[in-house]
Structure 1
Amino acid sequence: MRVFTSLDEVAAAAGQDLGSTDWIEIDQERVDRFAEATGDHQWIHVDVERAKDGPFGGTIAHGYLTLSLVPWLGSQVFELDTPGAKLNYGVNKVRFPAPLLVGKRVRGHVAFGEVTDVPAGTQLIIRYTVEIEGEPKPACVAETVVLLLS
């Protein structure tokens, strides 16, 4: 776990690979709870029997479920213990290159991108790759934006 306690430390880490998390299994219960929370009950996510004959051979996690894991995965790799508030400012780019079959394990790979000064403070780009164990393509690639207020 890498802990950043100053904006100078964050800036110095621009472009650096911060590492990977442990693997976590994505089970049907998690997918079902996400479906309940979001109202997305599409059969490819929640109907185990029907999905067996579907395009993926089983149920798959929602793309936005995978994306929602990004902050938690990042917290296993780094901590921003800088002065001031930290805000999720947005997402520049998100892609879901491969379906995430329920029962598979994923891990997050994290890298810092650009760090720029903005009127409200410091803007940090964080690049996440959510890898699927044993698969050539990731489940999600996302470039998030964090605003570190001064």
Structure 2
Amino acid sequence: MSTLFSSAKQLQDAQGMDLGHTDWLRVTQQRINLFAEATGDHQWIHVDPERAAHGPFGACIAHGYLTLALANLFMPQLMQFANLAMGVNYGTDRLRFPAAVKVGSRVRGHGEVLSVEALGDTLQAVVRISIEIEGSQRPGCVVDTISRYTFNPLEQ
């Protein structure tokens, strides 16, 4: 269940908030192959199931950047906005890939609002997204996302 933010004050007050978890998503070979097509990264550990079965992970694994891209899928499942004039992705900080995500694994996002800073009429929020792997103690990806949000003025 996502948290709804309708004002700048609500977002500012969310600093330190645990946003909870998203639903689970199965990482399929089709998703990995589509990512390989989109990026041109056809390394065998991602797209050759027969060779990958004998490789270091025992199966194909998702690209690290595919795992990172899932943060973009999970973010709106964790945070929703009303009364927003504009929101933009400003970048990321502290990106890590602690564990490989094997094909067929289920992953989910976990979010935490690390900081919210006012930049004039805009708020810059740093939200840590951890891409958790079902049954694994280590996540597939941990990234501190940086987004900027400008809310419409509230009616008096």
Bigger drift between 55-64 and 110-119 goes to 110-119
Q: Following the alignment from structure 1 to structure 2, what is the Cα–Cα distance between the partners of residues 59 and 83?
A: 40
Name the SS of the counterpart of 1:54 in structure 2. coil
Name the SS of the counterpart of 2:149 in structure 1. strand
Q: Give per-residue Cα distances to partners, 1:34-73, cap 9 Å, x unaligned.
A: 0000000000000000000101001000010011111211
* Superposition deviation, residue 81 in structure 1: 2.3
For residues 1-150 of structure 1, the aligned pairs below 5 Å read 1-119=2-120, 121-149=122-150
Residues 90, 145 of structure 1: 8 Å contact kept? yes
* Superposition deviation, residue 117 in structure 1: 1.1
Q: Following the alignment from structure 1 to structure 2, what is the Cα–Cα distance between the partners of residues 125 and 141?
A: 13
* Superposition deviation, residue 105 in structure 1: 0.3
Name the SS of the counterpart of 1:69 in structure 2. helix
User: Could you tell me which amino acid in structure 2 is paired with residue 56 of structure 1?
Assistant: F
Bigger drift between 69-78 and 95-104 goes to 69-78
Q: Following the alignment from structure 2 to structure 1, what is the Cα–Cα distance between the partners of residues 41 and 121?
A: 36
Q: Give per-residue Cα distances to partners, 1:74-120, cap 9 Å, x unaligned.
A: 21122122432100000011100000000000010011111001246
Give 5+ residue unaligned stretches, structure 1.
Answer: none
TM-score, normalising length from structure 2? Answer: 0.92
* Superposition deviation, residue 14 in structure 1: 0.6
Give 5+ residue unaligned stretches, structure 2.
Answer: 152-156
Q: Following the alignment from structure 1 to structure 2, what is the Cα–Cα distance between the partners of residues 116 and 10?
A: 10
User: Could you tell me which amino acid in structure 1 is paired with residue 52 of structure 2?
Assistant: A
Q: Following the alignment from structure 1 to structure 2, what is the Cα–Cα distance between the partners of residues 142 and 76?
A: 16
Residues 7, 82 of structure 1: 8 Å contact kept? no
